[in-house]
Amino acid sequence: MISPVIQTSSLTRHFGEIKAVDQLTLEVQAGEIFGFLGHNGAGKTTTVRLLNGVIEATSGEARVLGLNPQTQGSALRARTGVLTETPSLDERLTARDNLSIYADLYNFPRADVSARVHFLLTEFELAERADEKVAGYSKGMKQRLALARALLHKPEVLFLDEPTSGLDPVAARHVNDLVEHLARREGCTVFLCTHNLVEAQKLCDRVAVMEHGHLVALGTPSDLTRQYVKRLDVDLEVDPTQIELVLQIVQGLPQLVSGPPKRKKDMLTLTLSGRKAIPELLHILVQKGLHVYRLAPQEANLEEVYFALHGNTQ
Model pLDDT for residues 65-114, shown as the tens digit of each residue: 999 999 999 999 999 999 987 778 999 999 999 999 999 988 899 999 99
Please identify, among 219, 242, 257, the residue that sits at the C-terminal boundary of a domain: 219
pLDDT at 233 over 80: yes
The pTM for the full model equals: 0.81
Please tell me whether residues 12 and 60 are part of one structural domain.
Answer: yes
In a domain, 314, yes or no: no
Please tell me whether residues 247 and 167 are part of one structural domain.
Answer: no
Please tell me whether residues 243 and 186 are part of one structural domain.
Answer: no
Please tell me whether residues 173 and 282 are part of one structural domain.
Answer: no
In a domain, 94, yes or no: yes
**What confidence tens digit (pLDDT) does each residue in 12-53 have?**
999 999 999 999 999 999 999 999 998 888 999 999 999 999
* Type of residue at 281: L
Distance CA(183)–CA(192), nearest Å, equals 12
Please tell me whether residues 137 and 108 are part of one structural domain.
Answer: yes
**What confidence tens digit (pLDDT) does each residue in 253-279 have?**
998 998 888 888 778 999 888 778 899
Please tell me whether residues 46 and 103 are part of one structural domain.
Answer: yes
**What CATH number does residue 83 fall under?**
3.40.50.300
Please tell me whether residues 203 and 156 are part of one structural domain.
Answer: yes
CB atoms under 10 Å from CB of 276, counted, come to: 10
Please tell me whether residues 153 and 271 are part of one structural domain.
Answer: no
Please identify, among 201, 219, 237, the residue that sits at the C-terminal boundary of a domain: 219
Please tell me whether residues 196 and 302 are part of one structural domain.
Answer: no
Q: Which residues contact 124 (CB under 8 A, 6 or more apart)?
A: 144, 145, 147, 148, 178
How many angstroms separate the Cα of 129 from the Cα of each of 89, 97, 135, 156, 174? 15, 12, 12, 28, 18
In a domain, 295, yes or no: yes
C-alpha 19 chain-centroid distance: 23
In a domain, 1, yes or no: no
CA-closest candidate to residue 64, choices 303, 75, 199: 75
Per the structure, the count of domains in the chain is 2
Please tell me whether residues 166 and 262 are part of one structural domain.
Answer: no
pLDDT at 1 over 70: no
Q: What's the burial of 83, exposed, middle or buried (CB within 10 Å: 0-12/13-18/19+)?
A: buried
Please tell me whether residues 16 and 165 are part of one structural domain.
Answer: yes
Please tell me whether residues 52 and 98 are part of one structural domain.
Answer: yes
**What confidence tens digit (pLDDT) does each residue in 158-201 have?**
999 988 887 888 888 888 888 898 899 888 999 999 888 888 88
In a domain, 169, yes or no: yes
In a domain, 35, yes or no: yes
Please identify, among 184, 219, 254, the residue that sits at the C-terminal boundary of a domain: 219
**What CATH number does residue 266 fall under?**
3.30.70.980
Distance CA(33)–CA(171), nearest Å, equals 19
Q: Containing domain of residue 35, as a range?
A: 6-219
In a domain, 182, yes or no: yes
